[in-house]
Structure 1
């Protein structure tokens, strides 16, 4: 049993974040596993407060707030309907709620991201599948204008994070969760494209919306991250503990630039999903 003296304080966590290299006044994109961090006095709210303390009042926190639950072209949907009858699949589709920027939860990104999203004053981008939430002076600028047919490309918050030299905090998570690598998928030579569908609200009515975007694939991000970390000679990746979690602080521009070259070199064309492929 964990005693009171064993609980991690917000002040201690903020010190560790600063020792890792988190900058006051900077912009920080966070991916977190609270389970890896360990027992925190005050739980996830204390972790959010520690992050805000580390970046200071001039700094901005950003988290992914993705919502695959309202799409029938997402891996989450395909897993959920595997083995179901056509009638049962249609029932799942009919029950999918439309995306609402203010209220739609993002359970797949973890407790800390949800805590940031729900914090008073947080801003959220408007993409119905791959929104971001942010807290701080730059939150509104970073989340504004997220094009609904651009998950993670030049019309998304990731491009703005790149432009402002943000840092990525992998808090007890690996490079397989590094959302910023998706920006590199838009910057490779002739990125493959596909169709996506999700449920949205238009003029007060629930409807399905279909759009075309880059064919996203995070299945090789762990290998990409290992090669990036091994090749780093500039200090773009720093590692250290935050609570009990082995964590990394990563310069986003370096990660994206390396990833664009790595993906061009390592990826081969994948067979398109016949249902979603873009045909000439």
Structure 2
């Protein structure tokens, strides 16, 4: 869709001020801890683009609040896993030897969207050290949320997701659905005897680049849309427009608790 077509969808432009107004109407308040998943294009034309979106979020929760976004880097994985697209097997050893190590300051996220990439580079935004499943955070609890993240349990019980749960934070789906809802990966850790797979990433250890292999549970987002649909049928969530984007706002703890039981039940079928 051309930019002119996007502009024609609106009577007035989306701005930092109008987006903040929409976020407040959705339920965001000062002091909240919120993990944000977003689609910039779903908002319609925004004056200032992703910068205005990030500023509106920060304006809404304030410095006494905390914003978190996933800044994942799936391309820093073992090349044997790559499917979109795959690379020749004879390349694998070279990639493992030559791939730049994950650096929270300079490594870009992959497939997370323009808003995430913009947020990642904002002043005072910090980023966790996991080479594949990093998170960026800003605000009062950013340091605590990012303080620990096990290599073997990137979305597990010591992860930023778990700390949002401890802080009774919220999930904001800004024009996206539950298949983008990273918090549900935390719920996957409740599945007994979950299959594990071997992973590999380039990272820094004692200031030296190394290729590190480790085991982690097999994460699977395929059921998340069905899980989220049943969650919304069971619990009332806030749903309204932010710009042109149908957006959803919910307590993360309630969602994760529901997801744990739902996934355990599904796993037994």
Q: TM-score, normalised by structure 2?
A: 0.91
Aligned match of 2:139 in 136, 139, 142?
136
Question: Are positions 1:25 and 2:28 aligned together?
Answer: no
Question: Are positions 1:8 and 2:14 aligned together?
Answer: yes
Q: Is the contact made by 1:67 and 1:128 (CA closer than 8 Å) also made in structure 2?
A: yes
CA offset at residue 225 of structure 1? 0.7
Deviations 1:246-266 (A, max 9, x none): 000011001100000110111
Question: Are positions 1:55 and 2:55 aligned together?
Answer: no
RMSD between aligned residues:
1.9
Question: Are positions 1:177 and 2:180 aligned together?
Answer: yes
1:61-76 counterparts in 2 under 5 A? 61-72=67-78
Q: 1:138 to 1:163 in 2, by over 3 A?
A: same
How far, CA to CA, are the matches of 2:18 and 2:169 in structure 1?
23
Specify the SS of the correspondent of 2:71: strand
Question: Are positions 1:194 and 2:197 aligned together?
Answer: yes
How far, CA to CA, are the matches of 1:22 and 1:268 in structure 2?
37
Q: TM-score, normalised by structure 1?
A: 0.88
Structure 1 unaligned regions, length at least 5:
270-280
Q: Is the contact made by 1:68 and 1:74 (CA closer than 8 Å) also made in structure 2?
A: no
Specify the SS of the correspondent of 2:35: strand
CA offset at residue 202 of structure 1? 2.6
Question: Are positions 1:103 and 2:106 aligned together?
Answer: yes
Deviations 1:202-252 (A, max 9, x none): 3443321111222211111111111111111xx3x2111000000000110
Deviations 1:51-77 (A, max 9, x none): 0111123111000011111111685x2
Question: Are positions 1:153 and 2:163 aligned together?
Answer: no
Q: 1:5 to 1:74 in 2, by over 3 A?
A: farther
CA offset at residue 108 of structure 1? 1.5
Structure 1 segments of 4 or more deviating over 3 A?
3-6, 88-95
Aligned match of 1:78 in 61, 75, 83?
83
What is residue 274 of structure 1 aligned with on the other side? none
Structure 2 unaligned regions, length at least 5:
none
How far, CA to CA, are the matches of 2:208 and 2:166 in structure 1?
36
